[in-house]
Every structure is written in C-alpha cells, then in structure tokens.
C-alpha cells in the first residue's frame, strides 16, 4: 500500500534545496547511489547506519529523512543511527522535524524514545540516542554513513560495516540558545533531507 504523506511534510519535500547541492557533494552521493543500486541488483537488503558523536542531531535527522525518502520513492531500506556516546535526541532537533511536518510522539525518560511518523498509514521511525553498535541496529552488511567529522576521525573502524561514506554536515549546536537557533536547525534538517532525497531519487531512476 502506498503511503499517504502528511500534506505539510509534502510541502517541505517540494521545497527542499536540491538544486543547491554542490558538485562535490553530488560526487559523494553518487558513490552511495551505486552502492545502493548494487544492493538492489544483488537482491540484498539496504542497511544504512548514520553515525555521529552523540546521536543527538545530525545522525537523527539523517535516519529520519533517509527512511522517509526511501518510502517516498518506494525503495525498501532499513535506516539506523547511532553514536560514540549516548546522550539524547536533542529537543531542538525534534522541534525542527516537527516544523518540517513530521508527527512526533514522545515516550518520557532521561533519554526519551520518539516515534516519528511521515504518514498515518506508515510504521513509526523509532529514534533515541544510542551507540552505533546498539542491538537495535544492523550488525553486519551495512554502510556506515559518518555524519560528523569528530566521529569520522575518531572511529576509523566500524565493526560489521561493509562500506563507509564520510557524509559530514555542520553541527547546528553552534547556534543553541542564540537568535539563529531555529533557522539553523531547520536549515540543517532540510540540507540533510535534500541530499538524501537526491540519493534515493537517483536510486529509483536507476531501476
């Protein structure tokens, strides 16, 4: 059954800054396209683990938008996220995805679990801060997508990863509690969304 995406989210998707993706970023994304297309051709599962230091902002955005883009283009994919340290899914990042049109249900706790929906007829994306090798994540035959320079530089080896991609993004944390906080969290969310929609659209066209 085809998912019926929330109308607010569809407006966000339609306005993503895909045309502003640089040629350098496209070259890296195109390597990922080839990896995903090979998985499809070989009839193997697509598993992507987005990794940053604290699994609180960029890797969470990436997991959510990747899973959403895959569903949007009808591609079966299993998207995960994790970090080197456990903190929490930052509330500012949660607010950003809500502004983008996702429905979010929170289960309280020191490290809250969030259920993120892109439509009423889809299973939720379950997100919370965890280590990259958490039991809920893929343990083998996955691509490690490094979303921050700190994790990429400090974790030269990711057990179980068959491929590694350095898809680094700037940290919106630098703008916390300042006048540009909301703007920069939204900008980062939509930059990540644009690149992942570019990725999965190209994969869908390769078929």
Q: Beta strand pairing status for 142-146 and 47-52?
A: parallel
What residues in the chain have per-residue pLDDT under 70?
1-2, 207
Q: What is the pLDDT of residue 2?
A: 65
pTM: 0.96
Q: What is the pLDDT of residue 1?
A: 44
The closest alpha carbon to 49, from 151, 170, 185, belongs to 151
- Over residues 173-192, the pLDDT tens digits come to 999 999 999 999 999 999 99
Q: What is the pLDDT of residue 149?
A: 86
DSSP conformational letter for 77:
-
Domain of 120: which CATH number? 3.40.50.2300
Dihedral sign computed on CA atoms, order 104, 2, 81, 109: positive
Q: What is the pLDDT of residue 108?
A: 79
Q: Residue 2 falls within a domain, yes or no? A: no
Contact at 8 Å (CB) between 52 and 146? yes
The closest alpha carbon to 12, from 207, 193, 156, 199, belongs to 193
Q: Residue 1 falls within a domain, yes or no? A: no
Dihedral sign computed on CA atoms, order 17, 82, 205, 170: positive
Q: What is the pLDDT of residue 207?
A: 60
Give the count of domains, the chain: 1
Which residue range forms the structural domain that includes residue 90?
A: 7-13+21-206
């Amino acid at each position: 059954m085809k998912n019926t995406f929330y109308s607010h989210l569809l407006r966000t998707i339609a306005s993503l800054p895909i045309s502003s993706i640089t040629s350098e970023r496209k070259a890296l994304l195109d390597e990922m396209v080839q990896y995903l297309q090979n998985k499809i051709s070989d009839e193997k599962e697509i598993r992507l683990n987005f990794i940053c230091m604290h699994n609180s902002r960029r890797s969470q955005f990436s997991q959510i938008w990747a899973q959403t883009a895959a569903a949007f283009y009808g591609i079966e994919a299993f998207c995960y996220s994790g970090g080197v340290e456990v903190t929490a899914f930052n509330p500012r990042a949660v607010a950003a995805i809500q502004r983008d049109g996702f429905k979010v249900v929170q289960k309280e706790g020191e490290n809250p679990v969030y259920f993120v929906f892109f439509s009423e007829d889809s299973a939720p994306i379950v997100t919370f801060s965890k280590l990259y090798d958490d039991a809920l994540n893929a343990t083998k035959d996955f691509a490690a997508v490094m979303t921050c320079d700190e994790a990429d530089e400090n974790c030269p080896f990711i057990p179980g990863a068959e491929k590694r991609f350095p898809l680094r993004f700037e940290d919106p944390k630098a703008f916390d509690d300042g006048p540009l906080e909301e703007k920069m969290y939204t900008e980062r969310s939509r930059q990540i969304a644009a690149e992942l929609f570019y990725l999965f659209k190209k994969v869908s066209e390769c078929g």
